[in-house]
């Protein structure tokens, strides 16, 4: 029976993209500098670039990872030492990684009264992106000798930011009964509170924002959820569904023993169940293999058989534990899963998170706009101009259609993009930005046209006085020989009259322009034209 199958090595990487709030005025935010400023008080420490200059410390794994990607993706992932790609700091990469090492294990109890399962925590990383208000939390845990049904249940339950509902027992729906973080000494610095129904209800009622489970909230500190009255410097918002995207690696003795129902459960991430019964209707899973399975190395009848399932929100790699290449954590598929494939997964979900963040900022800008209020309109225009610049920088710095020429990597990346629908999301955000930018351009053109209209009216009326008084050099008042005081007085009177006439002309410029249009219309009689002139003086 499939129930007796054991996952010889189980590994899961949960990826949680978050939107970061600005920490200071300006467009380009460097949120990681806040962590640097905390010094020893911060649980997060920057990961020193593994791509070091010392050849003795540079391993083949690093090389294989680097050459997987195309040059422009390499500059994005690893930074550039020369050229215009280098940013404010010499050789700075577009990604800054911070890691905390105080969480060494995760103890998970799936059901009330159930046996706790302990998973070793390999990494807890936070990825910051230069010139993008996005942070991505990567939580990697692993264990050996895990029964298949338990592995399926862990994949289904773990990685939920908060419960969606509560069952009759009061347990958070579809969540583990208890998740505990363990430190090096085995003590529990934080545990989940999925069963605290009153806390979640009260939080949403007060803040119109979902409450993050206690263990995830503790893991993110000093990042805090943005709610009314929150004073934390590093604040974040959720961008997507509370069920976090993840990657899974499962090594079996004989992966060919998995039934089609097992594969569908792993791909669609459902509860464990009967090995011969699909977790959904048969027509729903009819095109499962074509949509989600990369079978280039599957069903060959060898120990090297491997299948990759890609649904967008998940990426699952299944193979044989007896295959040395598949199980190799240095140069084999396990190493590629943790590095090359993780970066593919990270890039795809960063694209989606960044686009959702920009769409959210556009919605916020519209909500803050008060038509008719001058200051509100000015702030709206500045915000839209800034978002236009942010979108352009995102497009030219981060937006890739292709990241690798290696067939396996590019197939996985293409499937991720297709299932996440990032191209359509990109087009939608681009259209929104362009629509708002076109509105601002048309509004500026309208204002410029109105200004030109007023200047034209003033010029036409001023032209009459200029010709009348300047014909053949005539002067209405010959005051050249008068005393200085008299000439100064005449100058001031003339200036006052001129300014007054100009002001009146500008204030009446719209009606004067209408009169000039009427005057030039040959279809109208003189009575209509005189009436148009009279309307200029009316209030």
* pLDDT digit string, tens, across residues 123-155: 999 999 988 889 999 999 999 999 999 999 999
Kind and range of the H or E run holding 163: none
Percent share of the chain, pLDDT over 90: 49
CA atoms within 13 A on the CB side of 376: 10
Please give the share of the chain, as a percent, with pLDDT higher than 70: 83
pLDDT of residue 82: 40
**Contact by Cβ (8 Å): 110, 177:** yes
Q: What is the mean pLDDT of residues 39-64?
A: 76
Question: Which of 68-77, 286-295, 324-333 has the least mean pLDDT?
Answer: 68-77
pLDDT of 88 reads: 47
Mean pLDDT of 67-71: 87
Helix (H, G, I), strand (E, B) or coil at 81: coil
- Note the pLDDT of residue 369: 79
Burial track 229-261 (b if 16+ CB lie within 10 A, e otherwise)? eeeeebbbebbbebbbbbbbbbbbeebeebbeb
Q: Which pLDDT does position 277 carry in this prediction?
A: 92
Partners of 537 in beta bridges:
none
Residue 132, pLDDT score: 87
SS3 string, 25-51, reads: CCCCCCCHHHHHHHHHHCCCEECCCCC
Query: pLDDT tens across 151-180, in order?
Result: 999 999 999 999 999 999 889 999 999 999
364 pLDDT above the threshold of 50: yes
Radius of gyration in angstroms for the set of CA atoms belonging to the chain, rounded to a whole number: 34
- In sequence order, which residues have a C-beta less than 8 Å from that of residue 67 and are 6 or more positions away? none
> Strand ranges (DSSP E) for 21-161?
45-46, 95-99, 105-109, 117-129, 132-147
Helix (H) or strand (E) run with residue 235 in it: strand 235-238
- Report the predicted TM-score, pTM, of the whole model to 2 decimal places: 0.83
Please tell me the predicted confidence (pLDDT) of residue 341.
95
Residue 214 has pLDDT above 60, yes or no: yes
Residue with tokens 């209509």: 528
Dist CA 322 CA 90 (whole Å): 45
Q: What is the pLDDT of residue 474?
A: 60
Total Cβ atoms within 10 A of residue 140 = 21
Q: Which token pair is 139?
A: 């939580």
* Beta-bridge partners for 308: 294, 317
pLDDT at 454 > cutoff 70: no
The pLDDT of residue 86 is 40
């Amino acid at each position: 029976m499939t129930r007796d199958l054991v996952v010889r090595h189980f590994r899961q990487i949960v990826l949680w993209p978050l939107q970061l709030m600005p920490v200071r005025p300006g467009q380009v935010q460097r949120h990681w500098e806040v962590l640097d400023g905390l010094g020893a008080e911060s649980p997060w420490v920057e990961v020193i670039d593994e791509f070091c200059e010392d050849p003795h410390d540079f391993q083949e794994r690093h090389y294989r990872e680097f050459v997987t990607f195309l040059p422009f993706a390499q500059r994005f992932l690893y930074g550039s030492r020369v050229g215009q790609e280098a940013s404010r700091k010499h050789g700075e990469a577009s990604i800054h990684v911070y890691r905390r090492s105080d969480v060494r294990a995760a103890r998970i109890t799936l059901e009330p009264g159930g046996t706790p399962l302990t998973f070793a925590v390999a990494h807890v990383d936070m990825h910051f992106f230069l010139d993008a208000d996005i942070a991505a939390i990567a939580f990697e845990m692993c264990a050996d000798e895990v029964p298949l049904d338990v592995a399926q249940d862990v994949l289904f339950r773990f990685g939920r930011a908060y419960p969606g509902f509560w069952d009759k027992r009061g347990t958070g729906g579809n969540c583990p009964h208890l998740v505990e973080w363990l430190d090096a000494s085995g003590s529990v610095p934080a545990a989940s509170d999925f069963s605290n129904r009153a806390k979640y209800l009260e939080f949403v009622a007060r803040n119109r924002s979902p409450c993050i489970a206690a263990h995830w909230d503790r893991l993110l500190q000093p990042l805090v959820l943005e709610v009314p009255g929150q004073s934390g410097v590093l604040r974040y918002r959720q961008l997507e569904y509370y069920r976090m995207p993840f990657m899974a690696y499962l090594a079996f003795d004989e992966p060919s023993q998995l039934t089609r129902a097992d594969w569908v459960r792993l791909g669609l991430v459902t509860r464990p169940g009967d090995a011969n019964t699909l977790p959904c209707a048969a027509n729903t899973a009819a095109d499962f293999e074509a949509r989600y399975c990369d079978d280039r190395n599957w069903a060959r009848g060898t120990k090297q058989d491997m299948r990759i399932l890609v649904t967008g929100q998940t990426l699952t790699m299944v193979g044989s534990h007896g295959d040395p290449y598949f199980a190799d954590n240095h140069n084999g598929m396990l190493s590629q899963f943790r590095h090359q494939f993780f970066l593919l997964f990270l890039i795809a979900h960063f694209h989606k998170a960044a686009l959702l963040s920009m769409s959210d900022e556009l919605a916020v800008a519209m909500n803050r706009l008060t038509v008719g209020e001058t200051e509100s309109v000015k702030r709206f225009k500045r915000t839209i101009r800034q978002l236009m610049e942010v979108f352009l920088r995102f497009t030219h710095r981060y937006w890739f259609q292709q990241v690798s020429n290696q067939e396996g990597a590019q197939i996985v990346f293409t499937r991720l993009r297709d299932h996440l629908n990032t191209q359509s999301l990109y087009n939608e955000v681009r259209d929104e930005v362009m629509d708002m930018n076109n509105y601002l351009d048309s509004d500026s053109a309208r204002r410029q046209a109105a200004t030109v209209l007023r200047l034209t009216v003033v010029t036409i009326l001023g032209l009459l006085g200029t010709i009348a008084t300047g014909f053949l050099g005539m002067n209405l008042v010959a005051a050249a020989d008068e005393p200085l005081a008299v000439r100064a007085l005449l100058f001031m009177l003339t200036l006052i009259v001129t300014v007054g006439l100009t002001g009146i002309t500008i204030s009446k410029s719209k009606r004067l322009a209408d009169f000039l249009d009427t005057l030039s219309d040959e279809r109208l009689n003189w009575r209509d034209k005189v009436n148009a002139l009279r309307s200029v003086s009316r209030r």
